[in-house]
A and B are shown apart, each in its own frame.
Chain A
Amino acid sequence: MTHQTDVTIEELIENFEFLGDWEQRFTYLLDLGKKLPPMPPEDCNEQTRVHGCQATVYLKERVINNGDTRIEFDATADAFLVNGLIAILRIIYNAKTPQQILDTDIQGILKQLDLEEHLSPTRRNGLHSMVKRIQSLAAAHQ
Chain B
Amino acid sequence: MNPTATHPAAQFDIQRVRADFPILNELVHGKPLIYLDNAATSQKPNPVIKALDEYYRRYNSNIHRGVHALAERATEAYESSRRKIARYLNAPNQHEIIFTRGTTESINLVASSYATSVLKPGDEVLITWLEHHSNIVPWQIACEKTGAVLKVVPINERGEVEPDQFEAMLSERTKIVAFAHISNALGTINPVREFTEMAHRAGAVVIIDGAQAAPHMRVDVQAIGCDFYALSGHKMFGPTGIGVLWGRTSLLDKMPPYQGGGDMIQSVTFEKTVYNDLPYKFEAGTPHIAGGIGLGAAVDYLDALDAEGIMAHEHDLTRYATEQLSQIEGLRLIGTAANKVSVLSFTLEGIHPYDMAPVLDHEGVAVRTGHHCAQPVMDRYQIPATVRASIAFYNTRQDIDALVAALAKVQRMFSGL
Contacts and interface: CB of A to CB of B under 8 A. Distances in A.
B384 A78 contact: yes
Given A26-B413, A30-B417, A34-B417, A79 B354 contact: yes
Contact of A30 (B354, B369, B385, B414): B414
A55 B361 CA distance: 18
A79 B369 CA distance: 12
Given A30-B355, A82-B354, 18 more contacts: A22-B29, A23-B413, A26-B358, A30-B414, A30-B417, A34-B417, A54-B369, A55-B384, A78-B352, A78-B384, A79-B352, A79-B354, A80-B352, A80-B414, A80-B417, A81-B354, A120-B357, A120-B358
A118 interface: yes
B370 interface: yes
Nearest to A34: B417
A120 B362 CA distance: 12
Contacts of A78: 352, 384
A128 interface: no
Interface size class on chain A is 10 to 19
Given A26-B413, A30-B414, A54-B370, A80 B355 contact: yes
Interface of A: 22-23, 26-27, 30, 34, 54-56, 78-82, 118, 120, 123
Contacts of B361: 120
Contacts of A55: 352, 354, 384
Residue of A26, A56, A79 most packed against chain B (CB within 10 A)? A79
B89 interface: no
Given A26-B413, A80-B414, A80-B417, A118 B358 contact: yes
Interface in B347-406: 351-352, 354-355, 357-359, 361-362, 369-370, 384-385
Q: Which 5 A-B residue pairings sit nearest by Cβ, starting from the closest? A: A79-B352, A79-B354, A80-B355, A79-B355, A81-B355
Given A54-B385, A56-B384, A27 B354 contact: no
Residue of B352, B357, B370, B413 most packed against chain A (CB within 10 A)? B352
Nearest to B362: A22
Nearest to B29: A22
Given A26-B413, A27-B413, A81 B385 contact: no
A33 B254 CA distance: 59
Contacts of A123: 354
A1 B367 CA distance: 38
